[in-house]
């Protein structure tokens, strides 16, 4: 699934008679089939707005946003979003939450429960199939959200800081889970993050956005092997790219 932005601009109406707010301006970007691309930039630069535009949740104000050459006109079954705070249904257990999207699509109960059980195992939640969200840790809830997105078999995963609300140890484990699942079930992934470490650890490329209005400042290839080796953070290429991204972010925000 190829995602292409051509001169995309997004304006939000100004409040109380003020001028419109330009969130994104002139975004040109191509995400290739099966590619893992991380969007990195300062707060307020439009990363989440761009992700929502790809999801079809908000329209471009001008320019074109295409998927496989066709304009994005709204949400589609080929895309699924994972948010930082997944709104799990509190009255449904883990299997029920994972199977929810399949239920909306009319998949018979035996089939959707089979898929849900398979994915619950895949994300490491064996034994918690009948637990309610309130009985799960934050990291476990994020695993449920990821399994729910994968259940509908999207061609593209759109991930909005999905691990931003958990502790460092849990975040690292979730990153490893995501890399493992991506290797087993390849998909196009667009991943929003504030973390240089996370962007380099996960991505094939890192798209660095400027402060608002968000523009593509630089696109950097991540010269690291897949699967990512255990000693990744000690590799010179990892350290150098992470430090380079930090310098660029710092310079971009210095008055």
186 inside domain: yes
CA geometry: angle 91, 89, 77, nearest 5 deg: 140
| Last residue of one domain, picked from the residues 153, 185, 206 | 153
Domain-ending residue, one of 153, 170, 201: 153
Range of the domain at 243: 3-78+155-253
Are residues 165 and 53 located together in one domain of the fold?
A: yes
Q: Is pLDDT at 255 greater than 60 in this prediction? A: no
pLDDT at residue 252 above 70?
no
> Domain with 217 in it: what CATH number?
3.40.50.300
The stretch 91-105 carries a mean pLDDT of 93
69: left (phi over 0), alpha (psi -120 to 50) or beta: left
Span 145-169, average pLDDT: 91
Question: Tokens 């970007």 appear where?
Answer: 29
Q: How confident is the model at residue 1 (pLDDT cuts 50, 70, 90)?
A: confident
> Band of the pLDDT at 18, cuts 50, 70, 90?
confident
Query: Does residue 27 register a pLDDT over 70?
Result: yes
Give the total number of structural domains in the chain.
2
Residues 131 and 93 in one domain: yes
Q: What average pLDDT does the segment 240-255 reach? A: 84
On whether residue 125 sits in a domain, the answer given is yes
pLDDT-derived band at 170, boundaries 50, 70, 90: confident
What is the 8-class DSSP label of residue 65? E
Q: What is the pLDDT of residue 157?
A: 95
Dihedral sign of CA atoms 89, 95, 101, 104 in order: negative
d(CA 163, CA 159): 9
Last residue of a domain, one of 124, 153, 182: 153
Residues 231/198, Cβ–Cβ less than 8 Å: no
Find residue 163's DSSP bridge partners. none
Percent of the chain with pLDDT over 90: 75
Confidence of residue 16 (pLDDT cuts 50, 70, 90): confident
Q: Which residue has the higher pLDDT, 253 or 70?
A: 70
Say how many C-beta atoms besides its own lie within 10 A of residue 86's C-beta. 20
**In terms of domains, do 117 and 143 share one?**
yes
Residue 253's pLDDT band, with cuts at 50, 70 and 90, is low
Q: Specify the pLDDT at position 248.
A: 92
Contact between residue 205 and residue 191 where contact means Cβ atoms under 8 Å apart:
no
Question: What is the pLDDT at residue 4?
Answer: 97
Q: Which two tokens stand for residue 104?
A: 């909306």
Q: Is 84 a member of any domain? A: no
Return the sign of the alpha-carbon dihedral for residues 229, 232, 235, 236. Answer: positive
Residues 138, 173, single domain; the answer is no
C-beta of residue 120 within 8 angstroms of C-beta of residue 95: yes
- Residue 164 is predicted with a pLDDT of 83
Asked whether residue 73 falls in the same domain as residue 94, the answer is: no
Instruction: Taking residues 168-172, report their average pLDDT.
Output: 88
| Element of type H or E holding 147 | helix 138-151
User: Average pLDDT for residues 166-182, to the nearest whole number?
Assistant: 89
- Give the chain's mean pLDDT: 92
Q: What is the pTM of this model?
A: 0.93
Lookup: tokens for 188: 């196009």
The reported pLDDT for the residue numbered 167 is 85
At 178 the pLDDT is 92
pLDDT at 254: 54
Q: Mean pLDDT lowest for which of 12-21, 54-63, 67-76? A: 12-21
């Amino acid at each position: 699934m190829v995602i292409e932005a051509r001169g995309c601009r997004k304006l939000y109406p100004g409040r109380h008679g003020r001028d419109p707010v330009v969130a994104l301006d002139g975004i040109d970007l191509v995400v290739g089939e099966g590619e893992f691309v991380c969007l990195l930039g300062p707060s307020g630069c439009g990363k989440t707005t761009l992700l929502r535009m790809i999801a079809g949740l908000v329209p471009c104000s001008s320019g074109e946003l295409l998927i496989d050459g066709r304009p994005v006109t709204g949400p589609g079954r080929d895309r699924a979003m994972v948010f930082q705070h997944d709104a799990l249904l509190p009255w449904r257990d883990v299997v029920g939450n994972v199977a929810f999207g399949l239920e909306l699509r009319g998949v018979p109960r035996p089939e959707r429960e089979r898929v849900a059980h398979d994915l619950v195992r895949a994300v490491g939640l064996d034994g918690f199939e009948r637990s309610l969200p309130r009985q799960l840790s934050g990291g476990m809830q994020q695993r449920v959200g990821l399994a729910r997105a994968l259940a509908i078999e999207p061609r593209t995963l759109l991930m909005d800081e999905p691990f931003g609300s958990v502790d460092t140890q849990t975040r690292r484990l979730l990153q490893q889970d995501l890399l493992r699942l991506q290797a087993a079930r390849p998909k196009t992934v667009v991943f929003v993050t504030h973390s240089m470490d996370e962007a380099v650890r996960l991505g094939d490329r890192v798209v660095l956005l400027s402060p608002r209005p968000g523009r593509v400042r630089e696109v950097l290839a991540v010269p690291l092997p897949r699967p990512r080796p255990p000693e990744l953070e000690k590799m010179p290429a990892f350290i150098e790219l992470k430090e380079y991204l930090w310098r660029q972010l710092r310079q971009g925000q210095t008055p």
